Amino acid sequence: MKNTSFGNLKLRMIQKTINLFHDGPNPLPDMAMSVVDWGSKNGYQTKVWKAENLPDFEQKQWLIENKQWSCLSDVCRHWAIYTTGGFYLDTDCEIVGDLQPLRKYKWFATKEPPRFVNCAFSGGIEGNEVSKAMFEVIRSFDFKGYKGQVPLPAYVGPWLQTAVFDYMSKILVTTEGYHLLSTSEGFGLTYQQDHRGVRDWPQGGIVRHHWAKSW
pLDDT in tens, 132-189: 999 999 999 999 999 999 999 999 999 999 999 999 999 997 888 999 999 999 999 9
- Highest mean pLDDT out of 1-15, 155-169, 184-198: 155-169
Amino acid in the structure at residue 171: I
**Confidence at residue 175, expressed as pLDDT on a 0 to 100 scale:** 87
Dihedral angle over CA of 130, 19, 159, 135, nearest 10: -50
Q: Are 197 and 172 in contact (CB under 8 A)?
A: no
If pLDDT is split at 50, 70 and 90, which confidence band does 25 have? Answer: confident
